[in-house]
Amino acid sequence: MTYSLLDKISVPADLRQLERSDLPQLARELREFLLGSISQTGGHFASNLGAVDLTIALHYVFNTPEDRLVWDVGHQSYPHKVLTGRKAMMHTMRKQGGLAGFPKREESEYDTFGVGHSSTSIGAALGMAEAALLKGEKRRAIAVIGDGSMTAGQAIEALFNAGHRDDIDLLVILNDNEMSISPNVGAFNNYLAKLLSGKFYNGFRDASGRVLDRIPSLKELAKKGEEHVKGFFTPASFFEELGFNYIGPIDGHDMETLVTTLTNIRGLKGPQFLHVVTKKGQGYKLAVDDPVKYHAVTPFTPCDGMAGGKSGGKPTFTQIFGDWLCDMAASDSRLVGITPAMREGSGMVRFHNEYPKRYFDVGIAEQHAVTFAAGLACEGLKPVVAIYSTFLQRAYDQLIHDVALQNLDVTFAIDRAGLVGADGPTHAGSFDLSYLRCIPNMAVLAPADENECRQMLFSAYQHEGPAAVRYPRGSGMGVTVEKAMTGVAWGKGVIRREGEKVAILSFGTLLGAALEAGEALNATVANMRFVKPLDCELVKQLAASHDLLVTVEENAVMGGAGAAVLECLANCGVSIPVVQLGLPDHYVEHGEQKALLADCGLDGEGIAAAVRQRLNT
């Protein structure tokens, strides 16, 4: 398909050659292109459609990449990628060797900051603005942050740090897609934003301030009057108190208003805050009507939309957790569930519906989620924190200081452990075994299949003290899940295959690959189940009856489960060769999950090959 305007744009400099009147047509073409592209590759959808107009306006007004444009999270950066020379590569989005699903510095000079986690944009842009000041460079730094990311403490900390700095050229744009501007007041709000960002208003305000400095009582009166007028029509007070010049809210799909307002802001000094209201899925009615469903999509037919949920397939580990949580809550009124803004992703929709008073979504605030759970546990409740492995990294101090140090009874259900496929290294749970097992009082469980996941969640919940159950994205081996919650023997592994000479110690859901390798090698295979407390008796037993031990885990080799086995052997004075297999000491890029595991040597063939190589040396 050809596009009369979009096909002419290779870099933003080409975009800036267009007439302003051409920009709405360009936005329509860009949305049409994204619909065709993302419906074939899958990926983040509604958020990207909602950010099209803002992206065009930013690259049109500002001199990117000299002016630094920082996206928060980056799940709305596809239009940015198209306009910055990557249109021809969009068919490779999130595929191995193709474009990343988030901004990535190695990919383009226009990707000024690599992201994937939320609420980092303001701090990064402030650092860039400060660097420009120190280096004597005339350029702006622009942070684009969504309303959800504003719930995180890191964003607020950056705002506090940036405010009242009249010498820095920083613009924070709040992309607010949760509210809408009523038609009867939208035009006035747009007009007000243009007025507040214009030279006349700001020049008048600065000049009057210098005059009123000599008459403090009148200055205070004038200041209060200005705040009253702006605060009456806009939620300006909070950001003004932080030292930002608040502008907005404006319609994020009105190109004329966007360009005019951004052009005016470009001429202002000091920290600026622009409030832009957008709609997720803008331009595609099905996504506008159901932005949650169309937040991240698999390939679909645009004319038909996304199909309903799959039925009859293997349950995912996330679904198993969600069902267990509801079943456990039915039998124990002390249970409360906590999520840092990941209700759907963590499988808590049913729990929220059935137990609304015991469900807590704390927003994108992982640190608070963990400390909040600690407070609940202090009062005799039984909190379950449902969190992605990569996001728990953000609450590490709270995990140690607020939960483990006090030996509080908090259960952590850690989703997305190991490689996550298309989302890439920013979302991979590559380190949780390493960073959890070194914490005193912390128990760490790694189920091998669906039923073990349910039973281990029960065991961890019954355990008095902090315990974590980590499980991967997607489904497992298809093992039948038993309704009865019987738990597992605490701290004990089990031998799944008897063999000779070589013993493979598997931690977690790589058990299937370990069994495949065991068949090829006639090796013993043990499902270790627990990373901490480690079944040291089983380790010693296997060491005494075999010539080589092989540890297998979907976690960084450094400090992981294999390291725990080595420590056990060293403490027992046992000397035996050990091969540690796991994730390498570099970040594993995005791609299909099965292929990535094979690349890391963590499929059956790779495990067997590593053993044969060791035996031949």
Q: Return the SS3 of 153.
A: helix
Contacts of 388 (CB under 8 A, 6+ apart): 342, 345, 346, 414, 415, 416, 427, 429
Reading the block at residue 237, the tokens are 């007070």
Q: Say whether 529 is catalytic.
A: no
Q: Say whether 612 is catalytic.
A: no
Per annotation, catalytic residue among 87, 94, 293, 366: 366
Residue 62's DSSP bridge partners are: none
Whether 488 contacts 570, CB under 8 Å: no
Residues in the chain: 617
DSSP states of 298-313: -S-BTTTB------SS
Contacts of 517 (CB under 8 A, 6+ apart): 504, 523, 525, 604, 605, 607, 608, 611
Q: Say whether 501 is catalytic.
A: no
What's 295's DSSP letter? S
Outline where 463-573 has alpha helix (H): 511-521, 536-545, 561-572
Q: Residue 249: is the preceding peptide bond cis (ω within 30°)?
A: yes
Whether 58 contacts 64, CB under 8 Å: yes
User: Residue with structure tokens 């200005």?
Assistant: 226
Reading the block at residue 521, the tokens are 């090698």
What's 8's DSSP letter? G
Question: What is the four-CA torsion angle of 11, 14, 19, 22, rounded to 10 degrees?
Answer: -50
Rounded to 5 degrees, what angle do the CA atoms 468, 473, 474 make?
130
Instruction: For 320-387, give the secondary structure using H, E and C.
Output: HHHHHHHHHHHHCCCEEEEECCCCCCCCCHHHHHHCHHHEEECCCCHHHHHHHHHHHHHCCCEEEEEE
Instruction: For 409-459, give the secondary structure using H, E and C.
Output: CCEEEEECCECCHHHCCCCCECCHHHHHHCCCCCEEECCCCHHHHHHHHHH
Per annotation, catalytic residue among 358, 394, 437, 529: 394
Per annotation, catalytic residue among 68, 280, 416, 454: 280
Q: Any idea which residues carry the catalytic annotation? A: 280, 366, 394
